[in-house]
Amino acid sequence: MALDIKIPAVGESISEVTISKWNKKDGETVQMDEVLCELESDKATFELNAPAAGVLHIVVQEGETIAIDTLIARIDEANGQPKTSTPTAQTTTPAEEVKPAAATGQTVEMKVPTVGESITEVTIGTWHKNDGDQVQLNDLLCEIESDKATFELTAEQAGTLRIVATQGTTLPIGGLICKIEVTAGGAQPVSQATATPSQPVPATQTAPSGDKTYATGTPSPAANKILAEKGVKPEDVQGTGVDGRITKNDAVNAQKPVAANNAQPSVSKPAEKTSAPKQPVVSGERSDRREKMTSLRKTVARRLVAVKNETAMLTTFNEVDMKPIMDLRAKYKDKFKEKHSVGLGFMSFFTKACCVALQEWPAVNAMIDGDEIVYHQYADISIAVSSPRGLVVPIIRNAEQMSFAEIEAEIVRLAGKAKENKLTIDDMTGGTFTITNGGIFGSMLSTPIINAPQTAILGMHNIVERPVVVDGQIVIRPIMYLALSYDHRIIDGREAVSFLVRVKQLLEDPTRLLLEV
């Protein structure tokens, strides 16, 4: 029996994908769940696995861009069995595969749950169960990744697992991930066993020999679009794909024979030696390396561009003398760690200073919701943290109510989860103000981009000893530049500058933080 393989739905906004690479060859025997090919969309790259064992017949070649639900290959299940077993074994193997599907019990569909107000799609990560496995209630099935966090999907019912979305597939919220068939009896194996050996040799087997099929002279969706734009009829193009299918390259080249006669004289002109001296002479090896963008990187890029386009972002700067804080840390860091079992860092000082300043300048702690401004009466501080998957921004909630030790402990906890890729959606949802520290990487000055829907972000930088004037004397002090990027739509320049000056005052005299003055 020939099993059609079509492009699955990979996202609500994705209408076509490109076959970047076939990992198996036409006519090759494949096993269930083997990776057949890699598919690329404008949002992600994912793998397409074999839904069954058999002989692969490729319909669409590498490099073609095709629409969702388009047939790209077939797997001849009948031809895949005789190579490994006798007819007696054939009646056993299909029976094991079909028995769960023939069950008369309830089928539970497991779909992508709502995982956050700003998340519209997720990517299927590692499957911990195989297709056809028996699973129990609350068994871990797979990991689901979003651009913010990774979380686990557990079984909602006990039964037989039927995987719909393979590893690497990108699904919208509500997309079908898998089905669980509640265990039930059935006598399907007998009829299936008799049906399997009775199948004739499918037509796909003869396709490679050059016989005409339904695909002969039929353009792929991408090729059809190109031909339409050029005004070329499909019947005037010779297809080079499987079964004579017209590929994207065929469509691109279809125009060349028409223009070849007139263009030949002009084609030879660039080859003249008159242009050769203009080319620079470069010695040594010159090579490029290409890598696919991750889903997280694509989402970050899209959102950063959106912030630049949708907000009136402006940045104001100031500098802070870090000597008072550094002296305070040097004096009490050992006792602090001994008492609280956590180190005393700069982030707790900056977090506390920002919380005080946010209460005095509430517009910096606000957000725009439609035609309204929402003023937050609390300070949920987002802390930018570097992780193996990229930059993530977990949140310290109600930071204005926390002590220095509590803030430091929470930063350590969130940073540890980020490094282990264990941050949850709750850890990263919300936030009213963001602090990012580019100074740990050596940045002297930068203009951080707002973390929407927030309206302001504070950028810390490296500490450098510089000559400054104190009480009429030139002295050397450890100076840090601060940058506050803000949305000018709701934050005026006076408020932004005053906020940053207040943060500077609190940091240069940390006693104010303790006395709340």
**Contact yes or no for 70/45 (Cβ under 8 A):** no
Question: Rounded to the nearest 5°, which phi and psi values hold at 8?
Answer: -75, 165
User: What is the amino acid identity at position 406?
Assistant: E
- DSSP for 469-513 reads EETTEEEEEEEEEEEEEEETTTS-HHHHHHHHHHHHHHHHSTHHH
Beta strands in 13-100 (DSSP E): 16-22, 29-30, 35-40, 45-49, 54-58, 65-67, 71-76
Q: If you search the block for the tokens 């997720």, which residue do you land on?
A: 122
- DSSP for 167-201 reads TT-EEETT-EEEEEEPP----HHHHHHHHTTTPPP
User: What is the amino acid identity at position 483?
Assistant: A
Q: Taking Cα atoms as reference points, which of 206, 440, 236 lies closest to residue 346? A: 440
> By three-state DSSP, how is residue 36 classified?
strand
Distance from C-alpha of 262 to C-alpha of 92, rounded to nearest angstrom: 65
Distance from C-alpha of 124 to C-alpha of 166, rounded to nearest angstrom: 7
492 is catalytic: yes
Question: Rounded to the nearest 5°, which phi and psi values hold at 62?
Answer: -60, 145
Name the H helices within 286-374.
295-310, 323-340, 346-360
Helix (H) / strand (E) containing 426: helix 425-428
> By three-state DSSP, how is residue 408 classified?
helix
461 is catalytic: no
Question: Rounded to the nearest 5°, which phi and psi values hold at 18?
Answer: -120, 135
Structural tokens at position 407: 């803030």
Residue of 4, 211, 334, 492 marked catalytic = 492
Residue of 211, 327, 334, 488 marked catalytic = 488
Q: What residues act catalytically?
A: 488, 492
